[in-house]
């Protein structure tokens, strides 16, 4: 059952419905292409072995199949040492519903009800819940019985998860077998919460030759509802790129005080490596109703504090507030579409003016400089900041700071920015007033890194409320010798950057560098995440067009392809295949022959 190909074949022989596809032994690229043509596009390419969504690719057209197959096989080989794949018809609107089963040596078999795992990114689960919502009693009984039949078909023993895809493209709600995971999964905790059973104990007893602790299906309890959120070290706004670094703060106490179960293997001071899966923790709640479980999980996520690297905590919290999720019956494509819309929204909004303030670049640098200044001031006082002497800032009271920024050529009153602390040791709120415009900016998260002598980096996630709108923004600010500020707007896949030179003690005096200097900065192709260079697709002197592959990074068993931003000539490749690079490392430089400096 560890092989998706074998499992599909056995289930089909047993009369269990499977997604139309190919699971044969012929793995030649030409044969697989013919099989994909026969299945029809879009088609899903899936590694036969392994799990966690690694290597899964959706191919929408014949001309993309060969390249996607190659990437899928490479990721599969790197993840589990086996590059065989299966092909399946891609169901565009679907739900991911699974059933926990157990079997013993005496051929007893039963299920512990359903779980819904449809809230996914990159085919990996983020939010899971039990039991699966928006199913009739008949549908629950049917899918449970199909799972038990699947277990009997292969004489299954011990814990297993039978995964199904529910086709939502028709009104029939067809269930198709996906695979059997021959183990307890990450999300087994929600099943434990609603059944009151210790599934690890069940595993051990069955492995020791004992019978199932419960022998009759009708005696398996199911009470209330449970939800789980997976906390990943990743940046949702940069296509969920894995993050690595040191966990400066790890505090789950607020969630635990709300009664949540926390399963984690990390603690403050740990280093998150690029070589392992990015999951940091699981946050699990239970409630008498689904609404109670959801609201408790939402509150728990907002009570968690993880600093040092970026995580998906805020993103998971936002999912719980989506109307589609609140209703139940979540479609696996909703998050993908939402993420695409968010990125497009960030692009258009950023081009206009993210903060409804002409000189917003100075504001970003000001907040970053303030965050950095507080780094060296550990003397936090209960109830306020105390009197802090920050160059360029004026302390006006113990509970916060006011700064004024005068816009160039503006004869009216200066923009007033009020920074306040909401929680101990954290900058949380910026109230911005400019004319009749009022905005509220919350520093949702910030990370400070020492990246070299005299150079520091501030990563900031800002939430901006202006009138009736809310937007997320992500900035990376590199500060060199306290004077030069290199700012990258990471709020969308098409990143932009600018450079301000700060004159100490005078917050109003910044200047944007001339075009030639900016061109020099854009020549550098940076590593978007720390990782291993598994492929370098170009060489010195090679001409590339916009969108051409430059290099491939691998981190946490996921691959990320970096493409050329425009037509250029490769000037110099600074690393070799197999090298491990840090975040922001200059991997290569480009020349733009048609552009003058």
- Each of the 597 residues of the chain gets a pLDDT tens digit; together they read 668 888 888 888 888 888 888 988 899 999 999 999 999 999 999 998 876 667 889 899 999 999 899 888 888 887 778 889 999 988 888 899 999 999 999 999 999 999 999 998 877 899 999 999 999 999 999 999 999 999 998 899 999 999 998 888 777 678 888 888 888 989 999 999 999 999 999 999 999 999 999 999 999 999 999 999 999 998 887 778 788 888 888 999 999 999 999 999 999 889 888 777 889 999 999 999 999 999 999 999 989 988 878 899 988 998 998 888 999 878 887 787 766 655 555 444 444 444 544 456 666 666 676 566 555 433 322 222 222 222 333 322 233 444 444 333 444 444 444 554 444 344 444 444 444 455 566 666 667 766 666 677 777 777 666 555 566 777 777 776 666 667 776 665 444 555 554 433 233 322 223 334 434 545 778 787 778 899 999 999 999 998 888 999 887 667 788 888 788 999 999 999 999 887 667 899 998 876 544
Classify residue 326: in a domain, yes or no.
Answer: no
pLDDT of residue 27: 92
The CATH number of the domain holding residue 317 is 3.30.470.20
Q: Considering just the CA atoms, what is the radius of gyration of the chain in Å? A: 26
The CA–CA distances, whole Å, from 457 to 256, 332, 474 equal 32, 36, 13
- Distance between CA 443 and CA 441 in Å, rounded? 7
Classify residue 329: in a domain, yes or no.
Answer: no
The CA–CA distances, whole Å, from 117 to 273, 275, 325, 433 equal 26, 25, 11, 43
Looking at the structure of the chain, the number of domains it has is 5
Do 502 and 546 share a structural domain?
no
Classify residue 121: in a domain, yes or no.
Answer: yes
Do 488 and 426 share a structural domain?
yes
Do 125 and 141 share a structural domain?
yes
Do 570 and 539 share a structural domain?
yes
Do 219 and 74 share a structural domain?
no
Domain that holds residue 55: 20-89
Do 538 and 478 share a structural domain?
no
Q: Is the backbone of residue 405 left (phi > 0), alpha (psi -120 to 50) or beta?
A: beta
Classify residue 3: in a domain, yes or no.
Answer: yes
Q: Which residue, 198, 223, 248, sits at the end of a domain?
A: 223
Q: Which residue, 223, 256, 277, sits at the end of a domain?
A: 223
Closest CA to 190 of 121, 125, 286, 300: 286
Do 506 and 363 share a structural domain?
yes
Do 428 and 401 share a structural domain?
yes
pLDDT of residue 313: 92
pLDDT of residue 297: 97
Do 496 and 415 share a structural domain?
yes
Classify residue 382: in a domain, yes or no.
Answer: yes
β-strand partners of 165: 96, 176
pLDDT of residue 360: 61
Classify residue 344: in a domain, yes or no.
Answer: no
Q: Which residue, 89, 116, 131, sits at the end of a domain?
A: 89
Do 498 and 367 share a structural domain?
yes
Q: Model-level pTM greater than 0.75?
A: no
Do 229 and 218 share a structural domain?
no
Classify residue 375: in a domain, yes or no.
Answer: yes
Classify residue 350: in a domain, yes or no.
Answer: no
Which helix (H) or strand (E) segment holds residue 367: the answer is: helix 360-375
Closest CA to 238 of 527, 570, 566, 593: 527
Helix (H/G/I), strand (E/B), else coil: 464: strand
- Please identify which of the residues 84, 122, 183, 343 carries the catalytic annotation: 183
Do 571 and 539 share a structural domain?
yes
Q: What is the DSSP string of 491-526?
A: SSSS-EEEEEEEPTT-TT-EEEPPHHHHHHHHTEEE
Query: Any catalytic annotation for residue 397?
Result: no
Q: At what angle do helices 199-207 and 188-195 cross, to 10 degrees?
A: 100
């Amino acid at each position: 059952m560890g092989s998706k190909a074998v499992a599909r074949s056995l289930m089909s022989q047993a009369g269990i419905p499977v997604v139309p596809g190919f699971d044969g032994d012929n793995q030649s690229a030409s044969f697989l292409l013919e099989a994909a043509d026969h299945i029809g596009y879009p088609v899903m390419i899936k590694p036969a072995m392994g799990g966690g969504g690694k290597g899964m690719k959706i191919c929408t057209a014949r001309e993309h199949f060969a390249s996607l197959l190659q990437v899928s096989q490479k990721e599969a080989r790197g993840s589990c040492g086996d590059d065989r794949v299966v092909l399946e018809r891609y169901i565009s609107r679907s739900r991911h519903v699974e059933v926990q089963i157990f079997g013993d040596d005496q051929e007893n078999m039963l299920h512990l009800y359903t779980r819904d795992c449809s809230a996914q990114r990159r085919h990996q689960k983020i939010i899971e819940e039990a039991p699966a919502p928006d199913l009739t009693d008949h549908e629950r009984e049917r899918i449970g019985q199909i799972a038990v039949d699947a277990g009997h078909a292969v004489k299954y023993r011990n814990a297993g998860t039978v995964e199904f895809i529910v086709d939502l493209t028709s009104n029939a709600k067809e269930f198709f077998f996906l695979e059997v995971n021959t183990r307890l999964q990450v999300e087994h905790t929600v099943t434990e919460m609603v059944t009151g059973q210790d599934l690890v104990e069940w595993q051990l007893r069955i492995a020791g030759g004992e019978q199932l602790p419960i022998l009759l299906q009708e005696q398996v309890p199911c009470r209330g509802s449970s939800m789980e959120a997976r906390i990943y070290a990743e940046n949702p706004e940069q296509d969920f790129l894995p993050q690595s670094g040191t966990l400066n703060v790890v505090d789950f106490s607020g969630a635990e005080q709300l009664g949540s179960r926390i399963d984690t293997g990390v603690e403050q001071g740990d280093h998150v490596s690029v070589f392992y899966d990015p999951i940091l923790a699981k946050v699990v709640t239970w409630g008498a109703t689904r609404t109670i479980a959801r609201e408790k999980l939402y509150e728990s996520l907002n009570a968690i504090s993880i600093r040092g690297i970026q995580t998906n905590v805020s993103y998971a919290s936002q999912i719980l507030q989506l109307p589609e999720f609140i209703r139940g019956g979540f479609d696996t494509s909703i998050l993908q579409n939402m993420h695409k819309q968010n990125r497009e929204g960030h692009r258009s909004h950023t081009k206009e003016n993210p903060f409804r303030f002409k000189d917003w670049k100075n504001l970003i640098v000001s907040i970053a400089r303030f965050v950095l200044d507080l780094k060296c001031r550990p003397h936090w006082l209960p109830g306020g900041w105390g009197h802090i002497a920050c160059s360029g800032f004026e302390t006006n009271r113990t509970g916060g700071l006011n700064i004024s920024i005068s816009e160039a050529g503006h004869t009216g009153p200066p923009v007033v920015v009020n920074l306040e602390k909401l929680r101990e040791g954290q900058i949380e709120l910026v109230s911005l007033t400019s004319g009749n415009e009022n905005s509220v900016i919350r520093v949702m998260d910030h990370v400070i890194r020492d990246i070299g002598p005299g150079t520091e980096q501030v990563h900031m996630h800002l939430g901006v409320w202006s009138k009736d709108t809310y937007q997320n923004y992500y900035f990376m600010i590199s500060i060199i010798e306290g004077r030069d500020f290199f700012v990258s707007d990471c709020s969308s896949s098409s990143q932009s950057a600018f450079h301000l030179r700060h004159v100490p003690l005078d917050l109003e005096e910044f200047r944007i560098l001339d075009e030639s200097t900016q061109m020099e900065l854009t020549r550098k192709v940076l590593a978007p995440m720390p990782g291993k260079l598994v492929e370098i697709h170009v060489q010195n002197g090679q001409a590339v067009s916009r969108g051409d592959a430059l290099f491939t990074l691998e981190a946490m068993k996921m691959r990320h392809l970096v493409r050329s931003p425009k037509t250029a000539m490769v000037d110099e490749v600074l690393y070799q295949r197999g090298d491990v690079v840090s975040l922001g490392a200059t991997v290569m430089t480009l020349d733009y022959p048609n552009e003058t400096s």
